[in-house]
Structure 1
Amino acid sequence: MIIVNTDFVPNQEIKELKGFVRGSTVQSKNVGRDILASLKNIVGGELVDYTKMMDEARQQAIGRMKKHAEEKGADAVINVRLETSSVTNAASEIIAYGTAVTLSKAPEQ
């Protein structure tokens, strides 16, 4: 599955639009991370546990988007975007979305 954030795939022609696809996940904070994050806020620096959690959430959302595209018979997703939103004070949603397409190799020029 090809995933791009552009409206085309280099050296490929879009054969058919399969439609909108998306994948999302909601991640909640945990008390242990919150305590460590509060301490880190005092001295500053990266909140490594949260960075890791959000990276895993992005990968999960992209994986779900890819599965949605595969269910539509697509072999690529173009115009991919990622967004994060707060669901509650203790949870965030990550959503990945784009347009599922099938491709055919572009003719040689």
Structure 2
Amino acid sequence: MLLSNLETIPNRRIVKHLGLVQGSTVRAKHVGRDFMAGPKNLVGGELKGYTELLNESRDQALDRMMEQARQAGANAVLNVRFSASSVAAGAAEIFSYGTAVVLE
């Protein structure tokens, strides 16, 4: 499955437009990650536990979006975007979306 944030792929023709596809996941903070983040908030630096959580969340949202595209018969998803929003205290949704197409 080809993924791109471009609206078209150079030297490839879109032969079928299948519409919007999306994938999302909602994740909550882990108490262990919060505990380890406390000292970092005082001295600064990367919160590696949260970085891992966000990377896993983006990957899962992308996987779900690609599965929806595969089921629709696509071989590519163009104009891929991400969005994040808070859904509850300590929980956030990561949302990916794009346009499913068939490229020649």
TM-score (norm 1): 0.93
Aligned structure 1 segments of 4 or more residues deviating by more than 4 angstroms: none
Q: Name the amino acid aligned to 1:84.
A: A
Task: Flag structure 2 segments of 5+ consecutive residues without an equivalent.
Answer: none
Match of 1:55 in 2: 55
- Provide Cα deviations, 1:59-96, integer angstroms capped at 9, x if missing partner: 01000000000010000000000111111121111011
Q: CA RMSD in A?
A: 0.7
Aligned residues: 104
Match of 1:21 in 2: 21
Q: Name the amino acid aligned to 1:94.
A: I
User: 1:39 offset after TM fit, Å?
Assistant: 1.6
Q: Percent identity?
A: 50
Larger Rg: 1
Task: Flag structure 1 segments of 5+ consecutive residues without an equivalent.
Answer: 105-109
TM-score (norm 2): 0.97
User: 1:100 offset after TM fit, Å?
Assistant: 0.1
| Equivalent position SS for 1:8 | coil
| Equivalent position SS for 2:7 | coil
Q: Name the amino acid aligned to 1:70.
A: R
| Equivalent position SS for 2:102 | strand
